[in-house]
Structure 1
């Protein structure tokens, strides 16, 4: 028999299920969070729940928000269980379930005026974001693009914004007009210098309609950089079933995650912050070394295994790590082409960090899918892979493995695996990527011509040649044969 999750049933949950160590009635809002996906609920909300359970920080509860009206279903599910979430941590030899209660409300998705009003509330001292890597309107050089149609539209109609950044500007304007101190904007997405990127997006959007406000934001508001890390797969019926069978809890939107979690954050919060250092968050003067390590080694590593595994019809990440060709490809590319160009990180051995990453990827309990890792390559490749390629080229070092990774992405986007299975659309630009990948079969340069991804790398003869050679071999010989030759140290693949 299962028990449906809600505040009324907390005391009746099975004995092995953890529950909040505080009364929800004692919480008051302090953070407005935009983007209530699985990662946020397994990371920021999970850390806050742990803090609240120590008896501290009860005035920092989360009010959730979403810009997209189609997120209404998610809000409906969470509202039905009083905004509680079961976080299930999964290791190879253990599982644990903890109900978290850090979120106390959720603004109706798509209700811009309500979101702006919430941002103007002086109780809200932090506005945080997890809107995915593709949500920041960046050009091929990684800079905010104010000419993007959606941003330009918000610039033309600042009183009726639709984007996250147009809404943030409207909220800041309303708050300033009311005479309240500005909130801190805390980005929790996997983007290098994510606070700086967010600052550029907010000030750039404001400048389109109110240059004076843009200058004020730049001078008076804080946008701390952060590195966030916890592998958190999407929720499916599999996770709901496992939660019910193993723990006796019926949760419409549980989150499954690995036990490991890390959050490194610059301490720049003029209006105060929760004492998250009490529950393991690292506060540092400069997050740059940590974020470069994580983005290049972990996120880049995900990309390295993703498309090879996808083309080999491997469903789960732990299965990919059990495949000698995929695991071998990951280790060799990391050791020879990624790690050598990652700057030192305080108190961290990069080879030990890589070993930890390999162990985390191989966790059989997580159920992370290869398809999730393959998702949205058009936005992820420029952030997770291209910087390593540029660093290796600048050092005169090998790039053959990274060129092969890029060729595997191109081959994947052709929409068919090595076995002939059809790959369902898996990128916002899937149709155009598929057309370009098909052209690249006979003209590899057509793929590298995507300046929004590769910038000027197409003009680098060494990289272009390695990419073309790998792509041609993938079409002629298949993924397994190409990986085998690469691991045999034959670079003429």
Structure 2
């Protein structure tokens, strides 16, 4: 009989389930995290749980927070189980479950986010971390620059005492701490964005500029924004995962997390008000975060995009099944080795070819159960960060972009919303309402999709890219995904 997860029932969980070795009542909050999703609970929360299990830094426990409807749903799910989470690591043939207790509270999610501002007023909160997705930073996808005209930014600039967005919350809290002479907290992005620390500073300071230029100066001069690179494949939780947890481990968890065994966290050591000793539990502190970050974004995240769209068009649901398909796997291998990896700068202590082989083996893990729809979502935000920079670099070097243009064409075809077999595809993208019409128009005029300037920028004017894109898209419509991939892998794509 499975047991509902709670502090009171920890001692009676099956012996195979690891649980906190520290007294929960000994923890004190030091970090507030905005955007409590599966990745945060499989990554940052696990590192801190490891640290507390070692008896270290018990004053760095996590308080959860959020500004979206999904954050309210997560809070509702975790509250009855005392903020505990079951994390299942999916080592093939040797799955392991552990209960983490590093989160000790969750700020009520309200429409104006005042509760988060109040929580951030406490001097014990010395770090605010973020996982608000790649699209949550109010930046122009084509330029990578902060967009002061973003509706969320404009609203919060006019409602500084009752903000709705993440950056409005941060600016309001920093403003209050400055007025009360409380040292500012460090802001640490854990999202997959190049130079995520700088991007976060641009958003916070950019909003502050609209409210009070002196506050913006304070942000730029006094608030730390360390860059980071984070990595762990963490699929969405469904009833499938809940059922597996109950059957194999005897636990009822409203929102468990299933993830691969691998995890990595690389950080700049820039925390003026202190930080936990995360290096003792495997976090790498280095001034070379940008190199690790670029490697991961181009090879892993770019690789996810490379398999997502051909697999989706072929009606493949699971990532490991896509990796078992010779055409999808062949496309990934050829694209990575010929067009992506050659333009990834060297990383201290890392062999890029070996890193890619590790990535490919992680994608192929059948126990993870990661899905193609998850990898394919939010393409309008992810393509400009994970794929198009490689395209720009190859064009600048005078190199061919056949594979990268094919990847963009596959995304375009996917945005139509049907598979090759005519089955519907649910396009999960904030810009779906304009992506689909543009993708449909591109069937007759490929340039109609490239005309999305906020995504492609000046690539539409690059003759080689435009030509390769048109050839690929015409082939996808005329012959379908399988024939197109066969032609590409055979070197007969022109």
Shared fold (TM-score, shorter chain, > 0.5):
yes
With 272-281 and 419-428 compared, the bigger mean Cα shift is at 419-428
| Corresponding residue for residue 56 of structure 1 | 56
Equivalent position SS for 1:455: helix
CA distance in 2, matches of 1:283, 1:135: 26
Residues 427-446 of structure 1 mapped to structure 2, 5 A cutoff:
427-446=429-448
CA distance in 1, matches of 2:94, 2:396: 44
Cα distance, 1:431 vs structure 2: 2.1
| Corresponding residue for residue 35 of structure 1 | 35
Q: Is the 8 A contact 2:114 2:161 kept in 1?
A: no
| Corresponding residue for residue 331 of structure 2 | 329
CA distance in 2, matches of 1:285, 1:430: 38
CA distance in 2, matches of 1:167, 1:275: 27
CA distance in 1, matches of 2:210, 2:171: 11
| Corresponding residue for residue 317 of structure 1 | 319
Q: Is the 8 A contact 1:70 1:109 kept in 2?
A: no
Cα distance, 1:159 vs structure 2: 1.6
Q: Is the 8 A contact 2:127 2:187 kept in 1?
A: yes
Cα distance, 1:70 vs structure 2: 4.7
Q: Is the 8 A contact 2:156 2:164 kept in 1?
A: yes
With 422-431 and 94-103 compared, the bigger mean Cα shift is at 422-431
| Corresponding residue for residue 15 of structure 1 | 15
CA deviation profile, 1:256-302 (whole Å, cap 9, x unmatched)? 00000000000000000000000000000131100000000000000
Cα distance, 1:449 vs structure 2: 0.8
CA distance in 1, matches of 2:232, 2:203: 25
CA distance in 1, matches of 2:385, 2:412: 17
CA deviation profile, 1:376-433 (whole Å, cap 9, x unmatched)? 0000000000111011111111210010000000000001100110111321111211
Equivalent position SS for 1:94: coil
Q: Is the 8 A contact 2:57 2:276 kept in 1?
A: yes
Residues paired across the two proteins, number? 492
Q: Is the 8 A contact 2:167 2:207 kept in 1?
A: yes
CA distance in 1, matches of 2:67, 2:114: 11
Q: Is the 8 A contact 1:336 1:398 kept in 2?
A: no
Residues 37-436 of structure 1 mapped to structure 2, 5 A cutoff:
37-110=37-110, 112-139=113-140, 140-436=142-438
Equivalent position SS for 2:226: coil
CA distance in 2, matches of 1:435, 1:4: 47
CA distance in 2, matches of 1:256, 1:149: 35
CA distance in 1, matches of 2:378, 2:185: 31
CA deviation profile, 1:188-241 (whole Å, cap 9, x unmatched)? 000000000000000000000110000011001100000000000000000000
CA deviation profile, 1:92-144 (whole Å, cap 9, x unmatched)? 22100010000000011125121001111100000000000000011120011
Equivalent position SS for 2:136: helix
Q: Is the 8 A contact 2:49 2:102 kept in 1?
A: yes
CA distance in 1, matches of 2:16, 2:85: 16
Q: Is the 8 A contact 1:184 1:221 kept in 2?
A: yes
Equivalent position SS for 1:58: coil
Q: Is the 8 A contact 1:473 1:482 kept in 2?
A: yes
Q: Is the 8 A contact 1:184 1:223 kept in 2?
A: yes
Q: Is the 8 A contact 2:189 2:228 kept in 1?
A: yes
Equivalent position SS for 1:131: coil
CA distance in 2, matches of 1:202, 1:297: 29
CA distance in 2, matches of 1:482, 1:220: 53
CA deviation profile, 1:354-393 (whole Å, cap 9, x unmatched)? 0000000000000000000000000000000011101111
CA distance in 1, matches of 2:83, 2:40: 13
Equivalent position SS for 1:227: strand
Q: Is the 8 A contact 1:233 1:256 kept in 2?
A: yes
CA distance in 1, matches of 2:330, 2:108: 47
| Corresponding residue for residue 457 of structure 1 | 459
Q: Is the 8 A contact 2:65 2:71 kept in 1?
A: no
CA distance in 2, matches of 1:368, 1:16: 24
Q: Is the 8 A contact 1:38 1:255 kept in 2?
A: yes
CA deviation profile, 1:123-177 (whole Å, cap 9, x unmatched)? 0000000000000011120011011122112112212211100110000011111
